[in-house]
Structure 1
Amino acid sequence: ILSTRALVLFRTELERLAAGRLAAPVDATAYRGPWRELAAFAESLRRLVSGFITELEVTAAQVASAVEQMEMAVARAAGLADAHTELRTAASSVDAVTQKLAEAVSAGGEALARANRALRAVRAGAKDIDATVDATSRKLDDIGGSLSRIDDILARIGEIADCTRLLSFNAAIEAARAGVHGQGFAVVAQEVKKLADRSSQAVEETATVTEVIKKDVQQAVAAAIKNQEDVRTLIMDAVAEVDASLEAHRTSLARIVDEARAMQREINNYFSRVGSHLQEWEDAVAELRNTAALLRRVGESLAATVGKITVNGGYAGGRYNEETLAAITAELQRLASQPEIKSLNPRTHAQVLQSFLADEPLLEAVYSNRADGSFIFSAPPAGLANARVRAWWQEAMAGRIYRSPVYVSAITRRPCLTVAVPIPGPGGRPVGVLGADLAVNGTREGAR
């Protein structure tokens, strides 16, 4: 016979389970007979549903984390498409610059052509100088010849003067023999002698001047020839050097233009290849965005479903030592201020946090995160790809110490309580998060 009391008690348990309050077990020992067997079946069903809901809660958190990662990937992919567009615009600017470079090189080629024409004019001028110097040398040679003829004339004048002097001397002798009758002739002979003497003196002076002029002409001819050679050498050397420099510039400019055009062709070919796949890329990004939106809706639906079932209702007021919780919070704050933790180095985080976990038996997990939500270190390994969706990460990154309500850990799949503190960076601005999961289990109350 089924007792009314057992029926009421069992009905109350079923109503509790139907309301989603699955944390407390169904105590089969409170029943007798067939009711105990039914209570045992109900407890098995509670455990099955409770385990399923626990996994569902963890899965909802993991889906939310995956959606966050997908949305970040979509944002980066969209940014890549924007970067491609900007790069394409920059490539167009490069094309314009290349065109201007070609125009500048063309103008430089015209300038080089003008320089070449100027060089040809210099060469022609050098030839004109040669002709002028040659003509001057010939004129000087002609002057030298004229001076030589003057020397001949002076020599003949000197001979005539000598003869005149001899004749005047003979005339003076004859005048002396003539006595009184030859006195007038003697005067004439004396004057002729003076004239001959002056002629000889003039010839000597003229010969001296002529000799000086001849030497000057010879020196002028030699100097003209030497200057002609020096000028020709100087001009030709300068022309050759400038010509070589212009040729080098011409070759360099041509090479620059060829390389710029080749580079532009390569850039255009690259963008043509990338452009052909860009639409496919954008379609894939759009599909990924839609998938992320779908997953987000699924995750929200899972979270809403899990929220209707207070799996952890029995743990919400679970027994844990408040002093222990405060001590662990203080220790997390102390560790977060250490240089080994502020460095965000995975190796030093592993050393410090593994030691901390080993020294605190109440801890089930300890972990650290960067400012983007990614994990630096986690022991045991993290069950989420990214912590950005978790309230503890959000609160700690806002600069606040966070204590969570009891929830199911994605790491251990057991009810836990999370404490998270910010890792301060320059100026006190958080650069990461340091967190720990405390086991919520009445049998472990006070354990350290």
Structure 2
Amino acid sequence: MLMQAETKLKAWLYGLILIGIALNVVALFSTSYWFTAASLAVFLFLGILITVMNRSSSASLHSEKQQQEQFRTFIQESQVVADRLAAAVEEVNRSISQLLHIADASIQGEEDLKARSDQAVGQLQEAFAAIQQVAAAADHILDSSLHMHKESEQTKDTVVDVCRSLNATDEVMSDLHINNDTMQRKIQDLTSHTSKIEEINTFIAEVVNQTSLLALNASIEAARAGEQGRGFSVVAQEIKKLAAQSHEAVTTSSEILTSIESGVAQVVAAVAEEKKSVALGISEMKVMKEKIDTIFSLILHVNNLVASTTTSTKTQSTLVTGTRSSLGQVVDLMNETMNSVENTLMQMKKQRQEVSMLQHINQNLDRSSTELIQAIQAVGLQNTKGTTNVNIQEMKQLLSALVLKPDITSLIDGNHAAQLSAVLKKTDGIEAIWSNRADGTFVFSLPEAGLVNGKGREWWKRAMTGELFISEEYVSAITKKPCITLSKAIIGDTGTPIGVVGIDLILK
């Protein structure tokens, strides 16, 4: 019955230990203090239960040695659990410190990002306002280009009309030049005819003079004849009268011809001047036509440029409109990003508060683990000093040679597994062997390590200072049995420690 009672008590003890560890693990990720209080209550009840078991064991004098051995095993396992819990607390505390550092850096980065985002939003808004002004200017330029294109088309049409008018004027001037030539020929013919008339008048004047002379002679002869010549005298007088009239008519005709010749001469001179003017006008018209053709070519070129400018301006206006729309969307996205940054910053601050709360919980868990270790030590048995059958000096030499091997200095998992497994297999007295990196994480461990990280252990700290460390007797976290540990640093190419190799020696 007593053994059954002790078995039940031990079952309760193990159960309470597991419950306490579970409550502490839950407390790590919970913001409630109830889990911490519950874990403390469990460990307090555990101490009471251990005391009861101790007293109950004392009552069984006939099995005291067996009970002490069993209790020693329990104490050793409890010590390992407490050590693992303390190591876990230390790792959590280190992680919390890193989380706090990361949270502070993230908050600072988010605040810097928020400041830069505010500045970027301001610059984008300025750019958006500038783009709007550019868009307004582009629209104005487009209107001006369209108006200029319209004016250019009208100018081109006007120049075409001018060219047509100049061509018509050129034709008129050519006709005028031809008419002048014709008129000059006609006037020359008229002058020729006038000269002939003058010759005829001269001839008639001579005939009249002869007739007057004949009439005078006839009058003289009629007077001599007397009465018989009276009739002939009358005829002579009439002939004389006709000759006088003819002379007067010839004189008048000569004067008129002289006047006509003078007028024709003036007309000839005027026609000659007009011909020169027409020729000059034709020459000037030709120059003007050439200039108008040049102007027309330039107008066509300008019109093409204006058309191209109008097309480019339309494209520019479309692009500016698209850019304005895109920039507006970017501004909206930046505003949304700002809201997201502000939300992220707020969440990070909350996260930091939660990490601070987790740090506080971890401190409570640290105190609980310390109290657990103290409680275990308070109820534990005084262990006798263990002994080992191996030569410590040989182990030191083995370890010193092992850390110098290239496979070990490479810190490659496979190489470490091969080398350390071989050493454990062929060397008596070694119950565990392992290696760590400079950050305390395990490269290899055989048997599997009971710790997550060895950075907080004394054998790691002392070895990383360059010392070949030999520990006092303690309970191994790997085998859960008393042992001593030897550890030495792995030295890298730069002469600085890059890791640690450790071995546990079996104690009797």
Give the Cα–Cα distance (whole angstroms) in 1 for the partners of residues 456 and 469 of structure 2. 14
Cα offset, 1:109, TM superposition: 1.0
1:86 and 2:157 aligned:
no
RMSD: 3.9
Q: Decide which structure has the larger Cα Rg and report it.
A: 2
With over 3 angstroms needed to count, the CA separation of the structure-2 counterparts of 1:154 and 1:56, relative to structure 1, is closer
1:82 partner letter: D
Q: 1:107 aligns with which of 125, 130, 146?
A: 130
Q: 1:265 aligns with which of 327, 330, 336?
A: 336
1:327 and 2:397 aligned:
yes
Cα offset, 1:313, TM superposition: 4.5
2:430 partner letter: L
Contact 1:312 1:406 in 2 (8 A): no
With over 3 angstroms needed to count, the CA separation of the structure-2 counterparts of 1:329 and 1:311, relative to structure 1, is farther
Query: How does 1:49-448 map onto structure 2 within 5 Å?
Result: 49-83=71-105, 85-89=107-111, 90-91=113-114, 93-139=116-162, 141-173=164-196, 178=202, 208-262=279-333, 264-265=335-336, 268=339, 272=343, 275=346, 279=350, 281=351, 284-301=354-371, 303=373, 313-315=384-386, 318-335=388-405, 338=406, 340-425=407-492, 427-441=494-508
SS of corresponding position for 1:405: coil
Contact 2:93 2:359 in 1 (8 A): yes
Cα offset, 1:296, TM superposition: 2.3
In the other structure, the counterpart of 2:250 is none
1:369 partner letter: N
Give the Cα–Cα distance (whole angstroms) in 1 for the partners of residues 341 and 263 of structure 2. 114
Cα offset, 1:68, TM superposition: 0.9
Give the Cα–Cα distance (whole angstroms) in 1 for the partners of residues 461 and 381 of structure 2. 23
Cα offset, 1:269, TM superposition: 5.1
SS of corresponding position for 2:494: helix
Cα offset, 1:395, TM superposition: 1.4
Q: Residue by residue, what CA displacement relative to the aligned partner does 1:56-91 show, whole Å, maximum 9, x if unpaired?
A: 332332122111122123224434543553354223
2:107 partner letter: T
| Identity level (%) | 22
Contact 2:390 2:428 in 1 (8 A): no
With over 3 angstroms needed to count, the CA separation of the structure-2 counterparts of 1:217 and 1:313, relative to structure 1, is same
With over 3 angstroms needed to count, the CA separation of the structure-2 counterparts of 1:430 and 1:277, relative to structure 1, is closer
Contact 1:165 1:196 in 2 (8 A): no
Contact 1:423 1:434 in 2 (8 A): yes
Cα offset, 1:110, TM superposition: 1.0
TM-score by length of 1: 0.73
Give the Cα–Cα distance (whole angstroms) in 2 for the partners of residues 188 and 45 of structure 1. 176
In the other structure, the counterpart of 1:32 is none
Give the Cα–Cα distance (whole angstroms) in 2 for the partners of residues 263 and 169 of structure 1. 104
The number of residue pairs the alignment matches comes to 398
| Unaligned 5+ runs, structure 2 | 1-59, 207-253
Contact 2:141 2:313 in 1 (8 A): no
With over 3 angstroms needed to count, the CA separation of the structure-2 counterparts of 1:403 and 1:307, relative to structure 1, is farther
Q: Residue by residue, what CA displacement relative to the aligned partner does 1:126-168 show, whole Å, maximum 9, x if unpaired?
A: 4344444544554555555555444454444433322332233
Contact 2:149 2:306 in 1 (8 A): yes
Give the Cα–Cα distance (whole angstroms) in 1 for the partners of residues 107 and 285 of structure 2. 88
Query: Which segment drifts farther, 191-200 or 286-295?
Result: 191-200
Give the Cα–Cα distance (whole angstroms) in 2 for the partners of residues 250 and 156 of structure 1. 66
SS of corresponding position for 1:428: coil
Give the Cα–Cα distance (whole angstroms) in 1 for the partners of residues 390 and 372 of structure 2. 29
| Unaligned 5+ runs, structure 1 | 1-36, 442-448
Query: Which segment drifts farther, 156-165 or 428-437?
Result: 156-165
Contact 2:176 2:278 in 1 (8 A): no
Give the Cα–Cα distance (whole angstroms) in 2 for the partners of residues 111 and 357 of structure 1. 80
TM-score by length of 2: 0.66
With over 3 angstroms needed to count, the CA separation of the structure-2 counterparts of 1:299 and 1:121, relative to structure 1, is same
Give the Cα–Cα distance (whole angstroms) in 1 for the partners of residues 300 and 488 of structure 2. 93
